[in-house]
């Protein structure tokens, strides 16, 4: 599932190719996507990200709000299958989404603000404020997936960040000391920044510290990585580094 780094990589590509262009048409190939307004003729003023949301700001006070969900991605060479395409004077972006769970809708500024105000702080835009973790007794790994507490972190980077911070994923969130929250904040920012730096080839090049490495040696202490299930999601951690 695309998390904050993958979404930022997509945004970076969209900015280069589509920002300041004029929309010629938005082609919809999947009836599950229903746009309430025709954006043909509107100029793309800005493309940005908040949490896992892609926000395409266009003229006329409107925004194309996109969420990639499980399998969404944008390609710039026409693929065999795609759900929608943003056709502009500078090029076309094709919205691929094998599981058809991604979201694309046109919203006003007021509607956008209402949607985004439900999100917690974005660690790369607002600073990594983890004070919300102190409000819950849930396991810290589970709490990190709550977008109301911290926006953009998902299953992969929660595991990676906890490894960096040497925090056991089963710890109660409210039990974390101030110094541990600071370590976790640094771990989150470092994990996200490292992933973004891979760029469009992230899926080919990325090397994880713990995620997906059950039974393999920890890159720090060589203990065997373990996998547990928390809230129906796989969690990977080092039993020695993250006691």
Mean pLDDT along residues 138-160: 98
Output the pLDDT for position 46. Answer: 98
68 and 140 in a single domain? The answer is no
Q: What's the chain's length in residues?
A: 243
Q: Residues 49, 52, 138, 164: which is the catalytic one? A: 52
Mean pLDDT along residues 22-39: 97
Output the pLDDT for position 190. Answer: 98
Q: Name the phi and psi angles at 168, rounded to 5.
A: -70, 130
Query: Which domain range does residue 42 map to?
Result: 4-116
Q: Grade residue 169 by pLDDT with cuts at 50, 70 and 90.
A: very high
Active site residue 52: yes
Residue matched to tokens 């990639």: 68
Output the pLDDT for position 39. Answer: 98
Task: Indicate which CATH number applies to the domain containing 232.
Answer: 1.10.8.50
94 and 144 in a single domain? The answer is no
Mean pLDDT along residues 208-221: 98
- 2 has pLDDT over 80: yes
Residue matched to tokens 């660690």: 123
CA distances from 1 to 92, 97, 165 (A): 23, 11, 23
- 214 has pLDDT over 80: yes
Output the pLDDT for position 128. Answer: 93
- 1 has pLDDT over 90: no
Q: Name the phi and psi angles at 54, rounded to 5.
A: -100, 125
Residue matched to tokens 């998902």: 154
Mean pLDDT along residues 65-74: 97
111 and 159 in a single domain? The answer is no
Q: Percent of the chain having pLDDT more than 90? A: 100
Alpha helices in 19-120 (DSSP H): 109-116
pTM reported for the whole predicted model? 0.95
Assigned domain for 163 exists: yes
3-state helix, strand, coil split of the chain in percent (to 5) is: 30, 25, 45
Whole-number Å distance between alpha carbons of 137 and 157? 21
Active site residue 134: no
Q: Grade residue 241 by pLDDT with cuts at 50, 70 and 90.
A: very high
Task: List beta partners, residue 28.
Answer: 84
Active site residue 233: yes
Assigned domain for 125 exists: no
Q: Mind listing the pLDDT tens digit for each residue in 121-130?
A: 999 999 999 9
Whole-number Å distance between alpha carbons of 100 and 195? 25
Task: List beta partners, residue 44.
Answer: 58
Q: Dig out the tokens for 136 from the structure.
A: 């819950």
Cα torsion through 191, 48, 103, 195, rounded to 10: -20
Whole-number Å distance between alpha carbons of 48 and 83? 21
Q: Residues 3, 6, 57, 160: which is the catalytic one? A: 3
Q: Grade residue 177 by pLDDT with cuts at 50, 70 and 90.
A: very high
112 and 160 in a single domain? The answer is no
Number of domains in the chain: 2
Assigned domain for 140 exists: yes
Task: Indicate which CATH number applies to the domain containing 69.
Answer: 3.20.190.10
């Amino acid at each position: 599932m695309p998390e904050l780094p993958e979404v930022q990589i997509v945004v970076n590509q969209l900015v280069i190719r589509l920002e300041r262009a004029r929309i010629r048409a938005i082609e919809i190939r999947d009836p599950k996507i229903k746009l309430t307004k025709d954006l043909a003729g509107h100029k793309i003023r800005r493309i940005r990200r908040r949490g896992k949301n892609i926000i395409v700001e266009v003229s006329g006070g409107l925004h194309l709000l996109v969420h990639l969900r499980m399998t969404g991605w944008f390609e710039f060479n026409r693929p065999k299958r795609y759900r929608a395409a943003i056709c502009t004077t500078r090029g076309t972006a094709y919205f691929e989404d094998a599981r058809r769970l991604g979201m694309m809708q046109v919203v006003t500024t007021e509607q956008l603000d209402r949607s985004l105000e439900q999100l917690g702080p974005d660690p790369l835009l607002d600073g990594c404020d983890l004070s919300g973790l102190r409000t819950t007794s849930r396991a810290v790994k589970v709490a990190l997936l709550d977008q109301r507490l911290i926006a953009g972190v998902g299953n992969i980077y929660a595991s990676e960040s906890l490894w960096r911070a040497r925090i056991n994923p089963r710890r109660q969130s409210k039990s974390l000391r101030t110094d541990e929250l600071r370590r976790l904040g640094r771990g989150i920012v470092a994990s996200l920044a490292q992933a973004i730096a891979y760029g469009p080839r992230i899926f080919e090049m990325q090397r994880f510290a713990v995620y997906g490495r059950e039974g393999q040696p920890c890159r720090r202490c060589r203990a065997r990585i373990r996998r547990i299930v928390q809230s129906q999601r796989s969690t990977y951690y080092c039993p020695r580094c993250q006691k």
